């Protein structure tokens, strides 16, 4: 049996987050997306923690479900914490995702962190706390907690970020590095990039949406296989990574990834000059804009090159595979030659969900023949192309979002645009 999990997200109590990010809406959208297990996010926030205690009840060991509801969505207790501190003569800004096995453990964590900083200010609290000390505090409360560096390559807030990160897990966590079993790829990187880095091969790579609104849930996720679910089984599967799983145990079989090229800082470049360069191209110009002579803004891929000890395309033997997807709404929008959020795109999204049940099922499993019987051939073709990785990518650079195009520019001219579906 397969289970899809999205562990890292935010509640309505986090800044720049939709007021719709409450437990009821999360559970409803999890069903639409096909997600079985959701992180609660933000368990450090007093008001959100109060809601968790009031609205959730125990399900499988260490997992929770909505009270007085027939929802099958399971929740696991998680929170993201922003550690901002000085170390090695540099200001560090490291985001950490914490997994906890019970509400009682969360209460103890919140009490100790509340002595350090203001947990009421934001669902993702900012603490003047060394990431190593955070790990020490959390693991001293319960060895069953899990510490995962979030979106590890993000320039400002990733553990390997070019602006405020470290060159290794050990440099950051020192003697506590032995307690770090996983890193989160985040939207700015995928496993293929991280496999080139030593720590990207030592640790399990997990993927989560970091969603700030219900519709963004599952844009990255983890797919497990097994007969049973529990907090401990999930944590054990993450710790085991690509290694063999014991009978009746859960195993992480692949992750679902966003195309990292869509990020705003994938390539190096200079926005004002319209210059976008791969790391090797930027190196030829000594990281100087060939148009105006000013320094280029260095992107995530360049940082990967800096840390890498393996060539592009390298894959470890026991690596957990991944599948790169484009959200269904975006596939529909491009197939219709429209923008996301239009009435026609939303109507067709609803139509496909009503016919097939879940977004992940549509993106991963439904045959082209069945898709063509339910929607326009352009949409069916778009879904199949994404599934096969047949997309055109224009990497982002210097604050300019990248673009993943399913159809070539010539094909886009032939798309149906305002063509009716019914």
What secondary structure, in 3-state letters, does 352-364 show?
A: HHHHHCCHHHHHH
Q: Number of helices (H) and strands (E) in the chain: give both, helices first.
A: 16, 17
3-state secondary structure of 392: strand
Please, what is the Cα angle at 218 between 99 and 70, to 5 degrees?
A: 80
50: Cβ–Cβ under 8 A, 6 or more apart, which residues? none
Residue 416: per-residue pLDDT:
63
Residue 84: per-residue pLDDT:
98
**Residue 375: how many CA atoms within 13 Å on its side-chain side?**
31
Question: What is the rounded end-to-end Cα distance, in angstroms, of the chain?
Answer: 36
Chain centroid to CA 194: 14
**Locus of tokens 């060394």:** 130
| Whether 311 contacts 300, CB under 8 Å | no
- pTM listed for this prediction: 0.94
**Rounded-to-integer distance, Cα 51 and Cα 228, Å:** 27
Which residues, given as ranges, of the chain have pLDDT below 50? 418-422
Using CA atoms, how far residue 407 sits from 26, 98, 259, 401, in Å, is: 32, 40, 16, 18
Using CA atoms, how far residue 259 sits from 165, 218, 323, 398, in Å, is: 22, 13, 10, 17
* Helix residue ranges, H only, 115-180: 131-141, 169-173
The CB density around residue 110, as the number of other CB atoms within 10 Å, is: 18
**Rounded-to-integer distance, Cα 365 and Cα 383, Å:** 10
Residue 150 CB burial class (10 angstroms; 0-12, 13-18, ≥19): buried
**Rounded-to-integer distance, Cα 113 and Cα 137, Å:** 8
3-state secondary structure of 318: coil
Residue 420: per-residue pLDDT:
47
Residue 206 CB burial class (10 angstroms; 0-12, 13-18, ≥19): buried
3-state secondary structure of 341: coil
Q: In this structure, what token pair is assigned to residue 93?
A: 């800004």
Please, what is the Cα angle at 266 between 200 and 131, to 5 degrees?
A: 45
Interhelix angle 328-336/343-356, rounded to 10 degrees, is: 130
Using CA atoms, how far residue 222 sits from 37, 245, 259, 321, in Å, is: 10, 16, 15, 11
């Amino acid at each position: 049996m397969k289970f899809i999990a999205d562990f890292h997200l935010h509640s309505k109590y986090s800044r720049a987050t939709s007021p719709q990010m409450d437990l009821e809406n999360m559970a409803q959208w999890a069903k639409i997306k096909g997600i079985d297990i959701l992180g609660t996010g933000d368990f450090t926030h007093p008001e959100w923690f109060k809601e968790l205690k009031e609205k959730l009840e125990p399900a499988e060991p260490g997992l929770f479900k909505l009270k007085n509801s027939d929802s099958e969505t399971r929740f696991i207790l998680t929170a993201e914490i922003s550690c901002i501190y000085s170390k090695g003569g540099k200001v560090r800004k490291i985001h950490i995702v914490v997994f906890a096995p019970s509400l009682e453990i969360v209460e103890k964590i919140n009490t100790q962190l509340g002595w350090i900083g203001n947990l009421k200010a934001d669902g993702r609290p900012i603490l003047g706390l060394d990431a190593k000390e955070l790990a020490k505090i959390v693991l001293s409360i319960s060895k069953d907690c899990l510490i995962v560096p979030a979106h590890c390559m993000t320039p400002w807030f990733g553990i390997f970020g070019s602006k405020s990160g470290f060159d290794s897990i050990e440099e950051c966590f020192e003697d506590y590095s032995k307690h770090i079993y996983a890193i989160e790829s985040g939207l700015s990187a995928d496993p293929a990039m991280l496999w080139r880095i030593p720590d990207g091969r030592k640790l399990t790579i997990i993927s989560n949406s970091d969603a700030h609104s219900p519709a963004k849930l599952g844009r990255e996720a983890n797919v497990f296989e097994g007969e049973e679910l529990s907090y401990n089984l999930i944590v054990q599967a993450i710790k085991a990574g690509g290694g063999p799983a014991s009978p009746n145990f859960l195993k992480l079989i692949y992750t679902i990834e966003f195309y990292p090229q869509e990020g705003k800082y994938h390539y190096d470049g200079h926005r004002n000059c319209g210059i976008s360069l791969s790391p090797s191209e930027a190196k030829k110009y000594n990281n100087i804009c060939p148009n105006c002579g000013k320094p280029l803004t260095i992107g995530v891929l360049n940082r990967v090159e800096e840390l890498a000890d393996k060539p592009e395309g390298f894959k470890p033997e026991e690596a957990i595979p991944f599948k790169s997807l484009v959200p269904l709404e975006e596939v529909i929008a491009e197939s219709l030659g429209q923008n996301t959020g239009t009435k026609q795109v939303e109507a067709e999204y609803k139509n496909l969900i009503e016919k097939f049940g879940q977004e992940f099922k549509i993106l991963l499993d439904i045959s082209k023949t069945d898709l063509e019987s339910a929607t326009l051939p352009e949409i069916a073709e778009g879904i199949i192309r994404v599934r096969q990785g047949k997309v055109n990518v224009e990497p982002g650079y210097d604050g300019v979002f990248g673009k993943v195009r399913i159809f070539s520019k010539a094909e886009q001219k032939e798309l149906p645009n305002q063509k009716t579906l019914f």
